[in-house]
Structure 1
Amino acid sequence: MTEAAAAFRETSADPVTEALPFSHLSLELGHLYMEDFAEGAERLVRHFTAVRPWAETARAWAAALPTGNRPRISTCFLIDDYFSRLSTPAELLPTLLGAAERAGLTIDYLARESGCALTDPLRPDRPGLADAVMHRLVESPPPGSNGFRPPVSRTGWLTNGRRAPTRRTSAALDADGAWQPPGETGARGHSVFVDVELWDDVGEQRTWSCAFLAAVWQLTRLGLLRDDGRAVLTPVPWEQRTFPADWDALPPLLRLNPAAPPFTAYYTCSVLPTRFLPVEHAVRVVLEQVHVDAHAVGQIVERAGREKLTVPEDVVERTSYLFPPGL
């Protein structure tokens, strides 16, 4: 008689990917620096007044989706509390929300930019969101590359093509070499080459770039980030009329509107000042080279299919922008 062989497997080896609810569109109503807030309430009212007609354009796009149902559109706003803190939540947020209301807009979700970077205080042993996304970067090697350039994990720089060769230390080696321009991978005709700085290590700790944090923000809005299968940066209901005096006492993502559609969405649209255009170009370069959770993507495609929507698996194709003049 022989004993039957038994196979044992840790349940944690195959973490279950948490499913999320989805809106059709996540509409970002702006991203301002602390210096903009320092100009006062009227500056914010002008911002939201300029945003409103473009927000209506985005809503009209969502209304034309072939779902057969009323489109689910959630709005959000990202507060820069990472690079500077010129004011407190107690002073700034009522003014921000009041300005949006005066312009006829409602902010459903409010996020702190530092939440895209810092480690979860409830799980200090886990990497922060930015660090986790950095480890998911898969550089696209340009044609003819020889691996001379160190990887992005060491340099903190990510590109969309082939860099111009670095001058060698030996003049003899350079004697026969001709200068070569950089080149965009997959360029149509002429290149638009971009080299993106993701962080710097000046000072006591790493400082993530605005472009990289904005890429993390997009991935979060698209519902593509997980930690051992669990959703990250989930909204915390906030029904209080007051806010704390310390940014760190505020959850990274607040749901201000109890009746708001889900924060995560099939598509994102951001209405931003034109000064953010180069930043968002850099964001797209990053998104093109992030290896996202395959199970999360599969859930989104399947869920959208049940709503008669075809959602592309390519992350970049799910993001869009509006850059109104004079914003």
Structure 2
Amino acid sequence: MTAAGALFHEVSAETHTEAVPCSHLSLELGHLYMEDFAEGPERLRRHFAAVRPWADAARAFVAGLPMGKEPRISTCFLVDDYFSRLSTPAELVPPLLDAADSAGLSIDYLARESGCAVTDPSRPDQAELAESVLKRLVESPPPGSSGFRPPVSLTGWLTNGRRAPDRRTSAALETTGVWQPPSETEARGHSVFMDVELWYEREQSRVWSCAFLAAVWQLARLGLLRDDGRSVLTPAQWNKDAFPDDWAALPPLVRLNPSAAPFCAYYTCSVLPTRFLPVEHAVRTILEQTHVDPAAVRQIAERSEGEGLTVPSGVVERTSYVFPPGLTS
């Protein structure tokens, strides 16, 4: 008879991954730039009037749930306060909410795009989200690559395949001098090659790209972002009748509807102007090469299975988009 072995480990070394409540669908009602708001309330009303029928269609898509459950759907809107700040929350947000109401839509959660980059360091429950996601990128090396290309952490560029070699690079010297086209790593028949800028340096500070911040936004909505196991970009309750004169005084994510379904969701759907189509293609390229927290993925799987749902483990498979023909700008 042999004695049973004992396994010792230090409890303090374990990281507890905080679980987050989930809706069935996170429905994004738009993303506008500051110059769009500058055009006035009529511009906002046209936007939501075009969004309304497609938002209704997205809601109908998740209506048939197993066990007769009512779908939990939360709506959100992302305001660009990162690339420009032509107005204040007090001036900008009330007309936005009024325009949504006029189209029969309600914005449950309002987010600041700057919160997807660097959140308020004075709040211990927040993190620098963009930097943390950058560290989770796992580049997919194309077949036959020589490792000559510097990593994305140095270049700020991420691709979904092999770039066309330049004659001045060592990779080009391995060929016979004949031009080679770029190629997508997992192309189906023909390549759709993407080379995505994630950031650039300006005055010794990093400026994140719209595509990369949008990828962070998707991960937040899917409930997959953690900071040492803690959930991040958690919504703060806010009185929608009182907005500050300074963006820094507004939390990165606010809940405007006290009875709203959870912000995070099993699936996301974004109703966006067609100008965002190339941006969202870039977002999917980023998400395909992001190693998300496995504990967070497992939590989502267990929670959804408890509701009789099977949620894909892949991040991209949980995202969807609508680009209405009337929403061109």
* TM-score exceeds 0.5: yes
1:294 aligns with 2:288: no
What is the aligned partner in structure 1 of residue 74 from structure 2? Answer: 74
- Aligned residue in 1 for 2:133: 133
Measure how far apart 1:146 and its partner are. Answer: 1.0
Cα distance between partner residues in 2 of 1:6 and 1:195 = 48
Instruction: Compute the displacement of 1:122 (Å).
Output: 2.4
Show the counterpart of 1:28. 28
Question: What's the offset of the Cα at 1:186?
Answer: 1.1
**Cα distance in 2, alignment partners of residues 64 and 149 from structure 1:** 48
1:270 alignment partner in structure 2:
270
Shift of residue 184, structure 1, vs aligned partner: 0.4
Query: What residue ranges of structure 1 are gaps of 5+ in the alignment?
Result: none
Q: Is the 8 A contact 1:168 1:174 kept in 2?
A: no
Match of 1:108 in 2: 108
Partner of 2:162: 162
1:205/1:125 CA distance change after superposition, 3 Å = farther
Q: Equivalents in 2 of 1:8, 1:278: separation in Å?
A: 48
Per-residue deviation at 1:185? 1.0
Deviation at 1:168, TM superposition (A): 1.8
Within a 5 Å distance, the mapping from 1:55-70 to structure 2 comes to: 55-70=55-70
8 A Cα contact 2:127 2:227, kept in partner: no
Query: Residues 70, 146 of structure 1: CA spacing in aligned structure 2 closer, same or farther, 3 A cutoff?
Result: same
The residue identity in structure 2 corresponding to 1:112 is R
Indicate the residue corresponding to 1:218 in structure 2: 218
Cα distance change, pair 187–254 in 1 and its aligned pair in 2 (3 A): same
Please name the residue that 2:258 is paired with: 258
Q: d(CA) in 2 for partners of 1:173 and 1:37?
A: 51
Contact kept? 2:167, 2:173, Cα under 8 Å: no
Question: Does the CA-based 8 Å contact 2:288-2:316 persist in structure 1?
Answer: yes
What amino acid is aligned across from residue 241 of structure 1 in structure 2?
D
Give the counterpart letter for 1:181 in structure 2: P
Relative to structure 1, the CA distance from residue 164 to residue 67 in structure 2 (aligned partners, 3 Å threshold; closer, same or farther) is farther
Contact 2:22 2:264 in 1 (8 A): yes
Per-residue deviation, 1:313: 0.4
Conserved? CA contact 2:126–2:232, under 8 Å: no
Contact 1:67 1:309 in 2 (8 A): no
In the alignment, the residues of structure 1 paired with residue 176 and residue 295 of structure 2 have an alpha-carbon distance, to the nearest angstrom, of 51
Measure how far apart 1:65 and its partner are: 3.2
**Amino acid across the alignment from 1:324:** P
- Distance (whole Å) between structure 2 residues aligned to residue 262 and residue 202 of structure 1: 37
1:126 Cα offset (Å): 8.2
Q: Quick one: which amino acid aligns to residue 145 of structure 2?
A: S
Q: CA deviation at 1:7?
A: 4.8
How many equivalent residue pairs? 322
Indicate the residue corresponding to 1:320 in structure 2. Answer: 320
Distance 1:185 1:174 in 2: 20
**Match of 1:201, SS?**
strand
The whole-number CA distance in structure 1 between the counterparts of 2:175 and 2:141 is 27
**Residues 66, 178 of structure 1: CA spacing in aligned structure 2 closer, same or farther, 3 A cutoff?**
same
CA shift in 2, pair 1:174/1:132, >3 Å? closer
What letter corresponds to residue 82 of structure 2 in structure 1?
Y
Distance in structure 2 (CA, Å) of the matches to 1:136 and 1:103:
39
- In the TM superposition, what is the alpha-carbon distance from 1:10 to its structure 2 partner? 5.0
- Structure 1 SS opposite 2:66: coil
* Distance change >3 Å, CA 318–CA 164, structure 1 → 2: same
Structure 2 contact 126–233 (Cα < 8 Å) conserved: no
Distance 1:175 1:23 in 2: 52
> Aligned equivalents of 2:94 and 2:62: distance in 1?
29
Residues 160, 193 of structure 2: 8 Å contact kept: yes
Percent of residue pairs bearing the same amino acid type: 74
Q: Cα RMSD (Å) of the superposition?
A: 2.0
Matched residues in 2 for 1:52 and 1:112: separation? Answer: 22
Residue 268 (structure 1) shift: 0.0
**More deviation, 265-274/120-129:** 120-129
Please tell me whether the aligned partners of residues 167 and 174 of structure 1 are also in contact (alpha carbons under 8 angstroms).
no
